Amino acid sequence: MIIVTGAAGFIASRLAAHLNALGEEDLLLVDDFSREDKRANYAGLKFRALADREEFLKNPAAWGRPDFVFHLGARTDTTEQDEALFEHLNLGYSKVVWNYCAEQQVPLVYASSAATYGLGEHGYKDEDALAEVLQPLNPYGRSKNDFDKWALRQEQAPPRWVGVKFFNVYGPNEYHKGRMASVVFHAFRQIRETGGMKLFRSHREDIPDGQQKRDFIYVRDVVDVLTFFMQKEVPSGLYNLGTGEARPFWDLASAVFHALNLPVNISFIDTPEDIRDTYQYYTRAEMDKLRAAGYDKPFTSLEEGVEEYVKLFLLKQK
């Protein structure tokens, strides 16, 4: 049995579908399954059972000993300010899963985040020791970094474990995420509704409008790497998961226009003042650690990923 938490959400539901495609159907899917807007994410999956998140937390052992755990369930809203919510869902929840895996000696992959890197003042290298000096910009990022630090200090640990620092993931099954959905998703919606796309203006003299950069990674690549961590015994620790390439928002928006066979029509609006001082102008995952662990597949280009997402998924949404 493989346990997947957060299974009604974006990445975890795509992972469960990928595991099904590999012939893995003995899955315990864990989440809050009460939201109707997430139902489509898991409706077609094959699994042993659905487990309510809070019931699972009370006694994980009641569901039987798994062979592997993917703990991807978390509160991921970077604008949420309720520290108690993060304490429960991102720290407490993760500690229960960690301790269960340590007691049962079950390998674990859990979701960390590139939000732990803050403004990138210490770079974007996935060295375990760096966790102690990172300065995340919001409660979400702090909760992820706090758990990373806690995990690294534990003497009792799963036989092998990986904390995955996801960069800017986009792709199908993010439709329920609202404002936390990817820029690809929002660009598609805005272009279809208005014929144009508004990007944040640069407020730095050294960076032109539209040239703010992120490491965008397609969810298909993400679930392939997660499966790699299950199939191969890699050294335990924190691992970045991006493409290793920073691309401008201009390129991303242009790719959406091209996928829709429309002329590029991009304009700019001021970055809101409440986030202007902490706005990230650049992120790029350093991927040497994953490559050294043996993952050698190429990552999907931004243009290819956006085209597939738009044509095979977004345009077919009802």
List Cα–Cα distances, 79 to 45, 68, 82, in angstroms.
31, 32, 9
Report, as residue numbers or ranges, the catalytic residues. Answer: 140, 177
Helical segments of 139-239, H only = 139-153, 183-194, 219-231
What is the DSSP code (8-state) at residue 28?
E
For 108, left (φ over 0), alpha (ψ -120 to 50), or beta?
beta
The whole-angstrom separation of Cα 29 and Cα 70 is 10
The whole-angstrom separation of Cα 103 and Cα 82 is 31
The whole-angstrom separation of Cα 150 and Cα 283 is 25
- The identity of residue 119, as a single letter, is L
Q: Tokens at residue 140, please?
A: 């979400």
**CA dihedral sign of residues 95, 98, 101, 104:** negative
The whole-angstrom separation of Cα 49 and Cα 128 is 35
Look at residues 56, 55, 87, 49 and name the one whose alpha carbon lies nearest to residue 71.
56
What is the DSSP code (8-state) at residue 176?
G
Look at residues 77, 78, 69, 89 and name the one whose alpha carbon lies nearest to residue 12.
69
